[in-house]
Chains A and B, each alone.
Chain A
């Protein structure tokens, strides 16, 4: 495990926690350090506990751990909420002059740094900069060169003019100097910088970037946590490429607009979260039956109903696999890392158009809102390929007309894939409908044609399985008798958990599955293992059900549904406990 440093700022929503945390994360990233952030926030605009945590190392970090080294506490509650993660020697920076912090309790063995954040900020030009003073103090504690913080302040406030940037830099310096002048102890941290250039982004942003790179030009959506960032990212950027974002009146409208744009030939997307998926279910069937390529992004949060909208869960898998009446093929892709959010979005558009069906692209809240550093080459734009599938033009449309010159948008083909003609194509005139239809798209109740069309649509899945590499990502010891399987954001925590497990002499083989449907056949892998553990953030083990269904083998379930993502050390402990045989409790949750 590389030497990592864990830092957090916490207070009330409205205290500027988010932007302060982001500035520190960017400063670290700009100093060539790897960063992984996580957010703890409540579903309210002001008030309520909120925190932004940053884990950093010179090596890649892809998870959170149960440890905090430095905490900037704007409220007593920030300390209380994080007691479990604070340890002997943890530094707590606070402003003892703040009315609510005068009776602050610094736990034994920890170091309290009382820094007059507000007063120093006022000296620098305004109380609003008190969090920046705290960042300066954090630089002093962690022995992190303040120049990197200045660079992040420049990025954050550059638009507001050089005076504002200067004031913030002064505030940071005052915080750093105050610690140096008043506390002469060694804290023992050394945040080494490197020459690497990293980018820092979250899953929602990676999805938006993947959409633009992958040719998406139309987006319609309705704001919902935690999917809104996708729309915010695209707004103002997609226009540069001739695209457009519509904030629709509701999710029903959003998916119907996206459907219309797709019929007009645009690569089209909508993004929402659980409740929105339910509202879209009616039109989802139409999208599938009319064989319209569409990417529907579901950024999962904790359900059911309104559930816990700002908390982590992977509970919508069944809704995406089985949602909607009747039977229609759809693909479900689930990126497992923030970088994969980019790559899988590009792939989702290709799959949607090649197979002419709706593709669910699902991220969970942890992937969506947390940020991670990557080398920019991870997002290699030259490698992006756009495959539009069977689109006809004036020259080729004739091959797909009947003897009366009528275009057959639902031609029965061996691979299940029919031609597409965009409006404006001479000779391609046709109607699409949610009614069962013949090859021309006309309503039919003919029993033979019904069966032929259902079979044709289903064949696309078999075709895709034969043509596409729907593979799992594999890590760890390939010969280990213990197989761990997970999907979605758990990959990062699991990969780091493997390091902890190795320290305890436990080797595991780990398969992270980014394809929910179609998915890789893991029968051989499951049969080859003595112990199979399914890790997922839901109560019932929806992915475990699928694996058991596919492999006809019972698997152990390791579930977490308290609204918080798996932490690497926590996951390692629970896996070790299961392997040691005290896993009854784990299985009981299934």
Chain B
């Protein structure tokens, strides 16, 4: 790891095709800052993303990266991290990616608690397919595919993570650059699965959950009496349906990441030119 890495080192020369004003710009900048400030270099970082607007992030950032299939970035990140625990792994996704098609992977990634960071750009709508309801859309949110609203309550991603024994659960607002970067940085530094749900407004298709809405409604946990290491405190806020929090809602300070529990510490890219020296022992087991 080099100490002289700047966050712009994580920026590629590709021009983003996100809409002007898209929340994803801020989300990405915060991710780059967090990585640089925690001393990672692009050579030792792996970004994984799925499909959708969020999925483009691997193109706009500069590091080793994989742009995968819809909803399945988390298992890819897990594979990278377990195969080489020296690599810093950051997974990015959207609300459809993470809480709909990838909901199964999300819950299991949380409980697996591999030491990586998961940033979800939550705009409460499907943007790239031009404006359909997402799992976090409001019950009465009218879209082309839900003319009367989804008529189903939105998923509470924080509660999903909490129920799955998450060890780091946070939420941020992409345009609050300073706080957002701080929170992602904390997630990176967490020993275990660092999950950050980011309000990352869609300026084109979502006229309800807008920048103005979040500015008016966000409660920053740094400004209220909240102890993220207090399980009960975390639970009451996470299950509070009426509030939009920014900050770390829950942090388990005793978190032991999967790799440590399972003794996974080798860089698996290094293998011998032939079978291991004692490989005939494997054959002799069958005597």
Q: Which residues of A contact B (CB under 8 A)?
A: 29-30, 197-201, 205, 209, 212-215, 217-218, 220, 237, 239, 241-244, 246, 248-250, 252-254, 256-268, 282-283, 286, 290, 376, 379, 381-382, 384-386, 422-435, 442-443
Contacts and interface: CB of A to CB of B under 8 A. Distances in A.
A257 B79 contact: yes
B72 A425 contact: no
B67 A218 contact: no
A286 B69 contact: yes
Contacts of B63: 429
Nearest to B104: A249
Contacts of A422: 84, 269
B43 to A, nearest CB: 5
Contacts of A214: 275
Given A381-B280, A423-B84, A265 B268 contact: yes
A213 B276 contact: yes
Contact of A424 (B14, B44, B72, B286): B44
Nearest to B265: A242
Which of A215, A381, A423: most chain B CB closer than 10 A? Answer: A423
Contact of B65 (A264, A426, A431): A431
B263 interface: yes
CB-based closest 6 A-B pairs:
A260-B79, A265-B269, A242-B266, A199-B286, A266-B268, A256-B75
Contacts of A254: 75
Contacts of B283: 199, 209, 376, 379, 381
Contacts, number: 206
Given A266-B268, A434-B67, A258 B79 contact: yes
Contact of B43 (A220, A250, A379, A425): A425
A501 to B, nearest CB: 32
Interface of B: 14, 42-46, 48, 58-59, 62-69, 72, 74-84, 86-87, 104-105, 107-108, 262-264, 266-269, 271-276, 279-280, 282-284, 286-287
A381 B279 CA distance: 6
Given A209-B283, A266-B83, A432 B76 contact: no
Given A260-B79, A381-B279, A428-B43, A376 B284 contact: yes
27 contacts: A201-B286, A213-B279, A217-B268, A217-B271, A241-B276, A244-B264, A253-B72, A254-B75, A256-B79, A257-B82, A259-B66, A259-B76, A259-B79, A260-B75, A261-B79, A263-B46, A264-B269, A267-B268, A286-B69, A379-B280, A381-B279, A382-B274, A384-B275, A386-B271, A423-B87, A431-B58, A442-B14
Given A429-B43, A431-B58, A248 B75 contact: yes
A218 B279 contact: no
B36 to A, nearest CB: 15
Contact of B66 (A197, A266, A290, A428): A290
A199 B284 CA distance: 7
Contacts of B275: 212-214, 381-382, 384
A510 B45 CA distance: 53
A199 B75 contact: no
A257 B75 contact: yes
A443 B83 contact: no
Contacts of B67: 431-435
Given A282-B69, A379-B283, A442-B14, A218 B43 contact: no
B118 to A, nearest CB: 14
B66 A385 contact: no
B279 A199 contact: no
A175 to B, nearest CB: 25
Given A266-B268, A384-B279, A434-B68, A246 B46 contact: no
Contacts of B266: 217, 242-243
> Most chain-A CB neighbours within 10 Å: which of B63, B78, B283?
B283
B53 to A, nearest CB: 14
Contact of A423 (B44, B272, B273, B282): B44
A364 to B, nearest CB: 21
A244 B82 contact: yes
B84 A257 contact: no
Most chain B CB within 10 A, of A201, A249, A259, A260, is at A260
B62 to A, nearest CB: 6
Contacts of A258: 79
Contact of B274 (A30, A386, A433): A386
Given A248-B75, A256-B68, A431-B66, A218 B271 contact: no
Contacts of B268: 217-218, 242-244, 261, 264-267
Contact of B72 (A256, A376, A379): A256
Nearest to B107: A249
Contacts of A381: 274-276, 279-280, 282-283
A213 B105 contact: no
Given A199-B287, A265-B268, A260 B66 contact: yes
